[in-house]
Amino acid sequence: MTTQKKVLGVYGAGSEHWVGDGFPVRNLFPSNGVSSEINPFLMLDYAGPSHFDPSKRQHGMGQHPHRGFETVTIAYQGSVSHRDSAGNAGTIYPGDVQWMTAASGVVHEEMHAKEFAEKGGTFEMVQLWVNLPRAVKMSSPRYQGITAEQIPTVTLGASGKARIIAGELNGVKGSAKTFSPVNVFDVELKAGDAAEIALRAGHNAAAVLLKGSVVLNGSQLSGEARIATLGREGENITLVASEDSKLLVLSGEPINEPVASYWPVVMNTQAELVQAFEDYKSGRMGHLA
């Protein structure tokens, strides 16, 4: 008989700010101090929903470096174009996911797609950062542009669903290739739906409510931009929705290694951080044309 994971705490956004001039975000972690409970996940920004008027130029975040981790961008409304110094480029639309492995280092930019900037509209996305184990931090960068059609779906309850972006649920495997065991499930529930989601014992886990109202393992989770952290023990969660709800369910094997970080770089030591910025300044991470 399986046991439920314990809800450790429920938190709102720890900060609200702009990333560049295109992404007004609510940060769910690490700004609220729960990062150690969610390792190997490093950061989650919920961008929007925000309306942008038509513009003659693209908004977003200009070129900047990353090393030592992965960025995962999940599109709900609007579109974003990416290009990087490893030669990767792509645009994601509602339902799509961009999984970029910075690894040894890339310089990249993320901008509102040209057609979205010209027409305007509602923008809503999540960006999640996933740590890399020391053994692969300096591996080659990788880019996965995953379309909505490539993401398998599992039925939950009477009318709910979970899109399996990464990991596995009910024997269905996600589309993303990962370096350590992680689950990223994009969940939608209708009012009245009840669902059980299996998660591995020993993994850290969290449920991020983007909007709606659910009871999670007996704890209430309501509103927008809320996160419930879960204990490592136990093998499942139950969700009962009292209104239409949208969530991300995350779990992963902890990476029990030192973390040294400075905004766009996550390594294991201070010396590695210094080296990363020297490599960026000298051009060893490449350039955007």
pLDDT score for 1: 67
* Closest listed residue to residue 177, CA positions, set 103, 259, 92: 103
pTM of the model: 0.96
**pLDDT confidence of residue 215:** 98
Q: Rounded to an integer, what distance in angstroms lies between the CA atom of residue 41 and that of residue 264?
A: 14
Per-residue confidence (pLDDT) for residue 33, from 0 to 100:
86
Architecture of domain 13-150+258-289: Sandwich (2.60)
pLDDT in tens, 77-98: 999 999 999 999 999 999 999 9
**CA separation (Å) from 172 to 132, 183, 202?**
24, 12, 21
| Per CATH, domain 152-256 is 2.60.120.10 | yes
CA–chain centroid gap for 287, Å, is 25
> Cβ contacts of residue 44 below 8 Å, gap of 6+?
27, 28, 29, 126, 127, 128, 129, 208, 227, 248
Rounding to the nearest 10 degrees, give the CA dihedral for residues 169, 175, 178, 180. 10
Q: Domain residues of the chain, as ranges?
A: 13-150+258-289, 152-256
Please report, to the nearest 10 degrees, the dihedral formed by the alpha carbons of residues 241, 242, 246, 247 taken in order: -50
289 residues of the chain, pLDDT tens digit each: 689 999 999 999 999 999 999 999 999 999 988 888 899 999 999 999 999 999 999 999 999 999 999 999 999 999 999 999 999 999 999 999 999 999 999 999 999 999 999 999 999 999 999 999 999 999 999 999 999 999 999 999 889 999 999 999 999 999 999 999 999 999 999 999 999 999 999 999 999 999 999 999 999 999 999 999 999 999 999 999 999 999 999 999 999 999 999 989 999 999 999 999 999 999 999 999 7
